[in-house]
A and B are shown apart, each in its own frame.
Chain A
Amino acid sequence: MNFLTELGTYVVENQSELLSMTWTHILMVIYGIALALLVGVPLGILAAKFEKIAPFILSSTNILQLIPSLAMLAILMLYFGLGFQTMVIGLFFYSLLPIVRNTYVGIKEVDKSVTEAGKGIGMTPGQLLRKIEVPLSLPFLMAGLRVGSVIAVAVACIGPYIGAGGLGDEIISGISLQSEIKIYAGAIPATLIAIIADAVLGRFEAKTKARMAP
């Protein structure tokens, strides 16, 4: 109980810093994911349309995700320098795989009869993509987004090691000061962000799925 009150006092005393860290954290994740969507969705569509390059696209994004986060950031730092933008690029790489893969799978899963029907009423390939394939694969994309954002929130926590800030500031300085209060003051909001992202995107996923259902 004592620990909880101490934690409470600490959070209240440092609320403005904690809020700004939370905000930085969220921004890093949003930017990273936005970049990943911007690049990942077209890549996923490409992979689905041109089956020949699909293995190449999928396995290279897969390898990106397997790079240990500490090493990835150390390497990125050599090229992009310190701080926020380097972290955003790192998060972009980490959330690419779920987005590319799920877009790919989603489009592949679109029922042949539906696309045939689209072609039958004279849709161009572009229209087919915009009006049928992309909307129908949205639930999959949402699921990918959900996985990607939970990973991104976690990876963003090691941001301070490369000077990027975010809630990792509390966690890492908590480790180096051996202060459990600081660790929890960073870990709890970070976990909450992940849980909320997971829940909100999960709801979107369910909604898009429900809309798809005949």
Chain B
Amino acid sequence: MMKKILFGSLFLIGFILTGCGDDSSADGGEVFQYGAQTYSDPKIMGQVVKQLVEDQTDHEVEITEDIQASPQIINALDQGEFDFATLFSGEVYNNHFDEDKIEFSTDPQKTIDQAQTLFDEKFNLNWYDSIGFNNQYSITVPEEFATTHDLQTISDLSEYASDMEVGADSAWKERENDGYRDFVDEYGYEFKNVRGMEISLMYEGIAGGDLDAITAYTVDPHILENNLVILEDDQNFFAPYDASIVARNELLENYPEVSDVLDSIVDSISTKEMTALIREVDINERSTAEVAEEFLKEKGMLE
């Protein structure tokens, strides 16, 4: 009995060790890895990258979805486990670099410039120019609440803040520069409570009345869907989050044809278009593959 268990386990372990690592595509090209966060825009971009690369080169792309957080994706890119991802320029302020190397700015150009140089230096990553959409934090409240109290800007909220339950993604509460603590300094008021949670649950929470305001992502169709309004960031507090494709330099040097494909994605999808794509996925429950394909064909990027 013991022996059987022992041999069985040994066999299984051998199987795990040999089981991994098969990376050539059907056309004799490579299989590249794309990693996506838990929300829909990076997942859709994964399909865009996959379909374009597979259409125009011999290579294939595999997508891994629902990675918990972008620092984990960057770590995986650094270690060569992922080859591509979609990241946002504000990521550069997310504790990856020494404070003396980086200067916080809400200027989109400055932010993406810093992201491009710093991620290249430290992680050997090529940060492409913006895809064309941005997805930044915003303070968002139900439309009804905004009209009754005549709210336009985040500053207008100060009177009501002390009674408000706010939902945010877990990192926002703690991050520096454009996180909650600096928000309190900048706007001069505190909310009754800020709760960190999985992003999509914020919408569920505000729709169900558990939350009074959320730090919605500006590209999300849920904002319109749930009758929410974005309050204007009148102190110019939130960092810009322009989306870019990010890829490993090493790969681009070896496969320039892939680099050409990724170049063609720059400046190809506007915020409005991305909102519409996410709507198809999140609200109409269609698959990211189908939605991306339809979009690329419409744009003439795919036959």
A134 & B2 in contact (Cβ 8 Å cutoff): yes
A38 & B13 in contact (Cβ 8 Å cutoff): yes
Partner among A74, A85, A135, A176 whose Cβ is within 8 Å of the Cβ of B66: A176
Q: Which of A75-83, A106-114, A117-125 contacts B (4 or more CB under 8 A)?
A: A75-83
Q: How far is the CA of A33 from the CA of B82 in the complex (A)?
A: 28
B13 & A34 in contact (Cβ 8 Å cutoff): yes
Partner among A130, A163, A173, A178 whose Cβ is within 8 Å of the Cβ of B203: A178
B200 & A84 in contact (Cβ 8 Å cutoff): no
B9 & A179 in contact (Cβ 8 Å cutoff): no
B66 & A173 in contact (Cβ 8 Å cutoff): yes
A77 & B72 in contact (Cβ 8 Å cutoff): yes
Most chain A CB within 10 A, of B16, B35, B79, B204, is at: B16
Partner among A34, A38, A74, A169 whose Cβ is within 8 Å of the Cβ of B72: A74
Q: Closest A residue to B19 by CB, please name it.
A: A84
B285 & A179 in contact (Cβ 8 Å cutoff): yes
B81 & A83 in contact (Cβ 8 Å cutoff): yes
Q: How far is the CA of A169 from the CA of B66 in the complex (A)?
A: 8
A135 & B12 in contact (Cβ 8 Å cutoff): no
B65 & A175 in contact (Cβ 8 Å cutoff): no
Partner among B9, B66, B67 whose Cβ is within 8 Å of the Cβ of A34: B9
In this complex, how many residues of chain A approach chain B with their Cβ under 8 Å: the count is 32
**A175-211 vs B: 1/0 string, CB under 8 Å?**
1111100000000000000000000000000000000
A162 & B67 in contact (Cβ 8 Å cutoff): yes
Q: How far is the CA of A184 from the CA of B81 in the complex (A)?
A: 31
Judge if B199 is at the interface, Cβ distance under 8 Å. Answer: yes
In this complex, how many residues of chain B approach chain A with their Cβ under 8 Å: the count is 35
B201 & A175 in contact (Cβ 8 Å cutoff): yes
B16 & A178 in contact (Cβ 8 Å cutoff): no
Judge if A58 is at the interface, Cβ distance under 8 Å. Answer: no
Q: How far is the CA of A81 from the CA of B33 in the complex (A)?
A: 13
Judge if A105 is at the interface, Cβ distance under 8 Å. Answer: no
Q: How far is the CA of A30 from the CA of B5 in the complex (A)?
A: 12
Residues of B with C-beta under 8 A to A31: 12-13, 16
A37 & B285 in contact (Cβ 8 Å cutoff): no
A81 & B79 in contact (Cβ 8 Å cutoff): yes
Q: Closest A residue to B198 by CB, please name it.
A: A175
Q: How far is the CA of A179 from the CA of B39 in the complex (A)?
A: 13
Q: How far is the CA of A177 from the CA of B40 in the complex (A)?
A: 8
Partner among B16, B35, B67, B282 whose Cβ is within 8 Å of the Cβ of A88: B16
> In chain B between 148 and 199, which residues have their CB closer than 8 angstroms to a CB of chain A?
198-199
Chosen A-B contacts, 28 in total, with CB atoms closer than 8 Å, are: A30-B12, A34-B12, A38-B6, A74-B72, A77-B72, A77-B75, A78-B75, A82-B72, A82-B81, A82-B82, A85-B16, A160-B67, A161-B38, A161-B66, A162-B67, A163-B64, A163-B66, A163-B67, A163-B76, A169-B66, A172-B38, A173-B38, A175-B201, A176-B38, A176-B40, A176-B66, A178-B203, A178-B282
Given contacts A81-B76, A88-B16, 11 further A-B contacts (CB under 8 A): A37-B5, A70-B68, A82-B35, A82-B72, A172-B38, A176-B38, A176-B39, A176-B199, A177-B200, A178-B282, A179-B285
> B residues near A, CB below 8 A?
1-2, 5-6, 8-10, 12-13, 16, 20, 35, 38-40, 64-68, 72, 75-76, 79, 81-82, 198-201, 203-204, 281-282, 285
